Amino acid sequence: MSFAADTELERPRVAFALGRSSGNAVQRNRVRRRLRALLREHADRVRPGRYLLGVRGSASQVTYRRAQAQLLELLKSAGALLGPEEGAP
């Protein structure tokens, strides 16, 4: 994942990179929809900036809860999650 902080943005801007190894077009679109839903769910905790999420392998086989845990861990390790003292609920 790439993250670039941008103080002029009001909310996160996210792009997805899914190769053909992630499955056919239907599976890749399903993964994108799932990631968008997860990001909407946690939008108040994600620091404004520009994000590029790269997905490899069989991401369509991952459960929603596992995808959520992995995404939050990824955002946390990139320093993109706001802590409680920074305005997150």
Domains assigned to the chain: 2-86 (3.30.230.10)
15-53: per-residue pLDDT in tens? 999 888 888 899 999 999 999 999 999 988 998 888 888
Q: Give yes or no for a contact between 81 and 47, defined as CB atoms under 8 angstroms apart.
A: yes
pLDDT score of 49? 86
Burial of 73 (0-12, 13-18, 19+ CB in 10 A): exposed
pLDDT score of 37? 95
pLDDT score of 29? 92
pLDDT score of 2? 66
53-77: per-residue pLDDT in tens? 888 877 788 899 999 999 999 899 8
pLDDT score of 41? 93
